Amino acid sequence: MPKSLKNKIDPYIIDVIGRLRSAGFETYLVGGAVRDILLDRTPKDYDVSTTATPEEVRRVFRDRHTLIIGKRFRLVHLIRGRDITEISTFRKRPELEDQADRPKRCENAPENMIFHDNAFGTSRDDAFRRDFTVNAIFYDPIDDKLVDHTGLGESDLRDGIVRTIGDPVLRFEEDPVRVLRAIKLVGQYGFTMEPETGKAVRASIELICHASPSRLSLELEKILRNSYTGEILKAFHDYGFLHYYLPELDAVFETPQMDYALKLLALRGERIRSGIFRASLSTAVAMVALPFAELELGGSEEPGSLWDYYLGVESDLRHIILRLFHPLVLTHRTSSDAVNNLLMQLRFKTHRRLHSCADRKGYPGAREFAIIQNIIAWHIPDFEDSCPLPPRIPGAPKKRRHGHGHHGGRRGGNGNGNPDQAQTVQTVHAAAQAAESEPATESERDFNA
């Protein structure tokens, strides 16, 4: 057991768990948050699991804003300002006979694929229904103890091993998105596949075609917000997974343009992890698209060369973005923000009327992108100092951040707000409703990137 983990956890989360415990319910911090804390990284968000049913959770927090979401997988969102804490009830692995009523569009899916997963269970049941040992470690901050029901989670985390819980072939058939998450662990943390898990991953890659597009698009958003976006995409390519996930991007992955995009993403990741800037979804999209826009619209392979503005360039930039991420779907807002970010790069490179656009939505992300371009390609002296800081919005509340410090990429920023996260509660619940008809074996946030 490492030294006390309590000082690495947001006191608010400890209070949430404490209230459930005081009400008589076994409750733990679970999933990716525990994994990241043990790796000395600050979690992006926190998930809590308990013996309390969703209705019982609502009664415990009757003085707070709560919503029960989901039909197939019901859980509670505990809302505090712009933060959402997800509270799920312990579940057990469903029986195969419960999966007979499968959606028509999934008639050709693997025999063992799970479509219904709402049977409550014990904490041990819940641990063994999770995907990988490193994601099945529970933490009790009240008694300050780790619970590793599989007996392998802590050692696998220490050794950097990706190991499925149970037969890997069966677990990937149950939920093909686990293939994505296994490779994501390799890219994000530099982990190594346990031999049988690695063999099953390669044999199961094509199963991803049975996962619903909306689930895969949600996973893409998580990857693009991650401070290790480039490393994850490279792992996808190395395993042959990117060919099925983002085939257009895979086809150009070993080009000078993608090499430049990966350099941009790598420096972005370093700055996010050091707290210099936030993890912006639209900025990551713009970084992937930029080198290809320079080649197609500007006719140059020179990194940072950009292109001349012309009537209709916005439409052409959007087309490049949509093509690169096809067949997955980015929201209209994300693609529009990415286009605006790309267009602002022309102003930053020429320093044309920057003060007049400093108060525009998206300016902070575009400024950060330009600073990164200057470090890698432009090399304009005193560039950052000459770029106006965006004005603080009068009366705008500061964001409350989960956790403490900047371990492993806690988003930083200058207090000017993040357009990508302005729809927090509405976006999360819209995504949950969109996922209602999709096969899944665990909460979408069992694996927090």
Annotated catalytic residue, options 10, 36, 126, 131? 131
Same fold, 1-159 and 165-246: no
Domain boundaries, given as residue ranges, for the chain: 1-159, 165-246, 255-427
Each residue's pLDDT tens digit, 391-438: 864 444 343 344 433 334 333 333 334 444 444 444 444 444 444 334
Where residue 379 falls (left for φ over 0; alpha for ψ -120 to 50; beta otherwise) is: left
Where residue 165 falls (left for φ over 0; alpha for ψ -120 to 50; beta otherwise) is: beta
Amino acid at 30: V
Tokens representing 260? 């430049």
Instruction: Name the residue among 273, 262, 260 with its Cα closest to residue 229.
Output: 262
User: For residue 82, what pLDDT is reported?
Assistant: 82
- Note if 36 is an active site residue: no
CA distances 290 to 350, 351, 383, Å, are: 17, 19, 20
Task: Compute the mean pLDDT over every residue in the chain, rounded to the nearest whole number.
Answer: 86
- Note if 47 is an active site residue: yes
Q: In this structure, which CATH number among 3.30.460.10, 3.30.70.240, 3.30.160.270, 3.30.450.30 belongs to the domain 1-159?
A: 3.30.460.10
Each residue's pLDDT tens digit, 274-291: 999 989 999 999 999 999
Partners of residue 438 on adjacent β-strands: none
Task: With H, G, I as helix, E, B as strand and everything else as coil, classify residue 253.
Answer: coil
- Note if 420 is an active site residue: no
Q: Let me know if domain 165-246 sits in CATH 1.10.110.30.
A: yes
Q: Which helix (H) or strand (E) holds 350?
A: helix 332-350
pTM score of the predicted model: 0.85
pLDDT surpassing 60 at residue 441: no
Each residue's pLDDT tens digit, 226-237: 999 999 999 999
- Asked if 85 and 78 count as a contact pair (C-beta separation under 8 A), the reply is yes
